[in-house]
Amino acid sequence: MTTEQNNLLTEETQLVDVQSTAISSNPSQNSDDSTDIVEETDFKSWEKLDLVKAFHEAAKSSQVGQAIKQAMKIKLVLEEKYQEEKLNALQKFLAEGGVEDDFEYKQDTQLSEIDKEFKALKNKQRDFINDLNKKKQDNYKTRLTLLEQLRQLIDGQKTIPFKAIQEQWKKSSPIPQEFNEELWASYNALSERYYNNRSIDFELKELDRKKNLEIKLEICAKAEALANEPSINKSLDSLNFLHREYKHTGPVPEDQKEIIWQRFKAASDALYLRRDQFLKTKSDEQAQILGKKKEFLSKLESFTEFKGTETEQWKQKLAELEVLQKEWTTLGFSGKDDSAKEISKKYWELVKTFFKNKNEHYKKVYDALLENLNLKEELCKQAEALASETNAENSTKTVIDLQKKWKEIGHVPFKMRDKIYDRFKKACDEVFNKKRGVDKEKDSEYEQNLVLKMSLINELSALDPDSKESPAKFRELLADWKKVGFVPKKDITQVQSKYSETVKSFLDNSKQNEAEVKKIKLSLELDDLKSKPDAKNLLFKKEQFIKGKIKNLQTEADTLNNNLLFFSRSKNASSLAKDVENKVESLNKQILALEEELKLIKSA
């Protein structure tokens, strides 16, 4: 229960004091003030619109005390429903990545209107109480004056009609409670003196008493009929009114005085017994509800000990708690005594402990979201810096790496999710758009290179291998070919293949140096390999193959050199040693040639 609700209950106790006053054996000792009892209504199960309607109806009631009590109960239930809606909205906000400090919940306009209307109702009651207290003081003074007039009438000092004094006495009600019994005792005593001391015709006196008897009999009948009134409140209000009427009605014949009073008392006691039975029943029901609530609290104990590590676990636990909270509201009203307040306090402590633990979990989650936000902001800065770089190719590769890192980073706070993503996407798009512009320029350049290379191939095809000028022209065309840049990717393999075939065809039919031809063919082979999709792997294999050949040749040469040492110790092995030396020399030449090829591969 909130502090505001406790304050409202305190005001309720101060402004609406429900009394249970039993009827006295003497009617003059009963208060002029009404005795009130409010039948409890379980508003917690009502729909919000029905509660608002009931509040407005209660506020319009002419019974200010009952109106403010009823309105207060409805207001408390509406505020609980508002807090529940606010709490549910907060949980949803946190589950979507929000932080509690950023949470805003719009005030219910209906609740605001009810607050204003309730304040007006309290002001109305305070005005009513102030007016009533003033009226009581005025009536008290009036009755003191009437008693003095009655004494003077009895003593013969005044000729004021007794009936006039009776009427004024009746109208001057109510008065302050502390003076009520004393004034009534004085009034009754003086009235008796008036009837006993005045020389009034006996028959007239008896006629007056009989008239009073008829009035009191009618009052008794009305009191007895109240047993059929369904509402205890209405029946007690009516009974209090009848008590005032009974007290203000004059004496009855002496032989009927006790009889008529006992009849009226019996009807009153029956209503008070009904009230007491109602209160006893409500008390028993509330005691049972209190017992159920005590047992119910054990269901909530486990929620305070829950220490989930995943948000989904907390969501599931929250759903379970919401079911129990709805079950709690169906248990009903358990009274306002200390035990009931203690149970209610314990219930809210358990619920608040769970939400405190849950909020701590969400804070950890939010801290992680903030850390992710910081990481993504850093990626945004890097991407924005790349957008201003001139090397579009390198920038694009780096941005792709940044995008991979972006995907590896977790979620950010919900409110920042779209904003940070749009910022990163904008920076990446700028880099990619710049790359597309560069690619467009390259495509145009590559098309021109394709035309140049096809022209060179045509010139190579036109060379005559037997012409003396052809070797020089051939080398010139090969040099020009190397100067021309890339061609479109789709044409690389076809152009390179056509070029290689043309060059090989010329070399096969020309009379150029064999070593030079071999070197050119190797260069062509390497160019072919570089044009293939897995060029890096193919070049590596080629390199390893040549290294293997060099190793084998070197091993063979080393073996032959060892043999030469053996031959040098033999007198008849000179001719054999010469053959071995020639063989070693040949192997070394092959190794040198392969090493040259290896250099070409490494420089490719």
Round to whole Å and give the CA distance between 166 and 173: 12
Residue 355 is assigned to a structural domain of this protein: no
Task: Write the DSSP assignment of 301-357 as a string of letters.
Answer: HHHHH---SSHHHHHHHHHHHHHHHHHHHHT----SSHHHHHHHHHHHHHHHHHHHH
Q: Do 322 and 268 belong to one domain?
A: yes
Boundary (domain end) residue, out of 167, 197, 227:
197
Would you call 521 exposed, middle or buried from its count of C-beta atoms within 10 A (0-12, 13-18, 19+)?
Answer: middle
Q: How far apart, in whole angstroms, are the C-alpha atoms of residue 559 and residue 511? A: 37
Residues 376, 245: one domain? no
pLDDT value at position 160? 65
Among positive and negative, which fits the CA dihedral 289, 294, 295, 298? positive
Could you give phi then psi for residue 513, rounded to 5 degrees? -55, 135
Domain annotation covers residue 129: yes
Q: Are residues 475 and 546 in the same domain?
A: no
Whether 282 contacts 333, CB under 8 Å: no
Contact (Cβ atoms closer than 8 angstroms) between residue 108 and residue 82: yes
Residue 574 lies in a domain: yes
The verdict on 313 and 209 lying in the same domain is yes
**Contacts made by residues 184-187, CB under 8 angstroms, sequence distance 24+:** 184/28, 184/29, 184/247, 185/28, 186/147, 187/143, 187/146, 187/147, 187/150
Tell me the pTM.
0.43
Q: What is the pLDDT of residue 221?
A: 95
Model pLDDT, residue 599: 82
Residues 55 and 89 in one domain: yes
Same domain, 150 and 54: yes
In 490-558 the beta strands, taken as DSSP E runs, fall at: none
End-to-end CA distance of the chain: 83
Residue 398 lies in a domain: yes
319 and 467 belong to one structural domain? no
pLDDT of residue 204: 67
The CA-based dihedral angle spanning residues 446, 448, 449, 453, taken in that order and rounded to the nearest 10 degrees: 140
Query: Does residue 458 lie within any of the structural domains?
Result: no
Q: What is the pLDDT of residues 450-482, one digit of tens each?
A: 888 898 889 888 888 777 777 778 778 878 888
Let me know whether 548 and 587 are in one domain. Answer: yes
Which domain-ending residue is among 179, 197, 215? 197
**pLDDT for res 438:** 66
Residue 18: per-residue pLDDT: 31
Number of neighbouring beta carbons within 10 Å of residue 364: 12
**What is the helix, strand, coil percentage profile of the chain, to 5?**
80, 0, 20
Chain Cα centroid distance, residue 501: 73
Based on the fold, state whether residues 177 and 217 are members of the same structural domain: no
- Which residue type occupies 599? K
Q: How many residues does the chain have?
A: 604
257: containing domain = 199-336
Residues 70 and 121 in one domain: yes
Residues 6+ apart with CB under 8 A from 387: 395, 427, 430, 431, 434
| Together in a domain, 74 and 11 | yes
What type of residue sits at position 482? K
Q: Identify whether the C-beta of residue 27 lies closer than 8 Å to the C-beta of residue 261.
A: yes
Q: Does one domain contain both 372 and 231?
A: no
Whether residue 344 is contained in a domain is answered as: no
Give how many domains the chain has, as a whole number.
5
Averaged in consecutive runs of 10 residues, what is the pLDDT profile of the chain (604 residues)?
Answer: 39 34 37 45 74 79 76 81 77 68 73 80 82 85 82 67 82 84 85 67 73 94 94 92 91 92 95 92 89 89 87 88 88 84 89 88 88 93 85 83 92 89 90 74 79 88 80 80 84 86 80 69 70 76 85 86 69 68 84 81 72
| Positions of E strands within 430-568 | none
What pLDDT was estimated at residue 35?
A: 42
Residue 60, burial from CB neighbour count under 10 angstroms (0-12, 13-18, 19+): exposed
